[in-house]
Amino acid sequence: MIQRKIIHVDMDAFFASVEQRDNPELQGKPIAVGSSSERGVVATCSYEARKFGVRSAMSSVVAKRLCPDIIFVRPRFEQYEAVSAQIMKIFQEFTDKIEPLSIDEAFLDVTENFVQQSSATEIAKLIRKRILEETGLTASAGVSFNKFLAKIASDMKKPNGLTVVRPEQAEAFVEQLPIEKFYGIGKVTAEKMHRYGIHNGKDLKGRELHELTRLFGKSGMFFFSMARAIDEREVKNSRVRKSVGAEQTFEKDLTTKFERIAELYKLEQEVFERIKESNFKGKTITLKVKFHNFEQITRSKTINGWFTSFDTIHRYAKELLLQTYLEDAKIRLLGVTISNAEEDEKDGIQLTLNF
């Protein structure tokens, strides 16, 4: 069996780096892309801000508390998409096996490539050099023989770093890895693993498959394989959309029935437009409600047909909202998502796209 040569390229603080590139006055300063309002959220931040503990998805209030001098910049998604397209064209000069994970990162399979280069490490160097020359931005990269290792490796020496994990290094690399660094293990799962004495890759590798599946369900098989550096997933050129949705955090809490229905109506329209644009079909609608105290609930409804018309989306989203006891509640966020897609009935890797 041919051993694959996989590169994972991850742009460094992408949105923030674009803003610093385009505005020299922001260079070297702690900036956050997002809204500075009381209800604002940091989309991403510069490495200067990260030194203070500021992170993506953090509330703007907390970010300003950690870093009083932080500068908030409104996002320019059209510009980010344009730069992302530039980077994608660079990738296409080296291989046609490209799997974007988001606007700022992708897997590349360079086992066979267009530049007749046998070393994946050299290709990663060339790609990073081209990105810097053409966009003025830095990228970090991980190189290995599977996606799991390449993904983790790309995060080891950020920013502007390159990490290579060769086959003979894989076992030791995974064993010393803190469990929080494993791709696919979030905070809640990591805490659960700690309770069972699993703190790193070596601890995880010491657990039997039946134990991991008992503790973590279907994910147990994934964890079992990752602990042994086994990942047979191929780099896929196309990904299947699994859901379409929209959500909104409000400047002021919604306290009346009229306000809730009016704001929900706007979200329904947005979701409907995205469904039309993507030609998406789903059977399940989910309502997300977050209250002023940050408690959150979700309510779902599955129908026999498809959510392809605005009337259907409006009918069931409103029904879910009215069925939820909210008489005295103060709502800070509403969200509507359509899922259970037509493609779910087919084989293939799927990726949830959050809007």
Evaluate whether residue 116 is within a structural domain.
yes
**Tens-place pLDDT, residues 315-349:** 999 999 988 877 788 999 999 999 988 544 433 32
In a shared domain, residues 288 and 153 = no
Tally the domains of the chain: 4
| Structure confidence at residue 102 as a pLDDT band (50, 70, 90) | confident
CB atoms within 10 A of CB 184: 11
In this prediction, residue 105 carries a pLDDT of 95
In this prediction, residue 1 carries a pLDDT of 64
In a shared domain, residues 204 and 322 = no
Least confident of 196-205, 215-224, 242-251: 242-251
**Residues whose CB is less than 8 angstroms from the CB of residue 158 and which lie 6 or more positions away in sequence, other chains included:** 10, 12, 140
In a shared domain, residues 203 and 63 = no
In a shared domain, residues 244 and 338 = yes
In a shared domain, residues 194 and 301 = no
| Structure confidence at residue 354 as a pLDDT band (50, 70, 90) | very low
CB atoms within 10 A of CB 249: 15
In a shared domain, residues 271 and 311 = yes
CATH of the domain at 63: 3.40.1170.60
Q: At residue 136, does pLDDT exceed 90?
A: yes
DSSP string, 176-227: TSBGGGSTT--HHHHHHHHHTT--BHHHHHTS-HHHHHHHHTTHHHHHHHHT
In a shared domain, residues 208 and 63 = no
Evaluate whether residue 151 is within a structural domain.
yes
CATH of the domain at 156: 3.30.70.270
Catalytic residue (one of 19, 48, 99, 105) = 105
C-alpha 51 chain-centroid distance: 22
In a shared domain, residues 263 and 214 = no
Tell me the C-alpha distance between 307 and 235, whole Å. 31
| Structure confidence at residue 353 as a pLDDT band (50, 70, 90) | very low
Segments forming the whole domain that contains residue 184 = 170-226
Q: At residue 10, does pLDDT exceed 70?
A: yes
Q: At residue 34, does pLDDT exceed 50?
A: yes
In a shared domain, residues 10 and 143 = yes
In a shared domain, residues 159 and 10 = yes
Evaluate whether residue 1 is within a structural domain.
no
| Structure confidence at residue 275 as a pLDDT band (50, 70, 90) | confident
Element (H, E) at 11: strand 6-11
Q: What is the mean pLDDT of residues 275-289?
A: 89
In a shared domain, residues 318 and 305 = yes
CATH of the domain at 219: 1.10.150.20
Average pLDDT value over all residues in the chain: 90
Q: At residue 284, does pLDDT exceed 80?
A: yes
Tell me the C-alpha distance between 62 and 251, whole Å. 16
Residue for token pair 């009935």: 345
Tell me the C-alpha distance between 270 and 103, whole Å. 21
In this prediction, residue 238 carries a pLDDT of 63
Q: Assess contact for 204 and 223: CB atoms under 8 A.
A: yes
Q: At residue 351, does pLDDT exceed 50?
A: no
CB atoms within 10 A of CB 93: 12
In a shared domain, residues 220 and 324 = no
Known active-site residue 105:
yes
Rg (the chain; Cα; Å)? 22
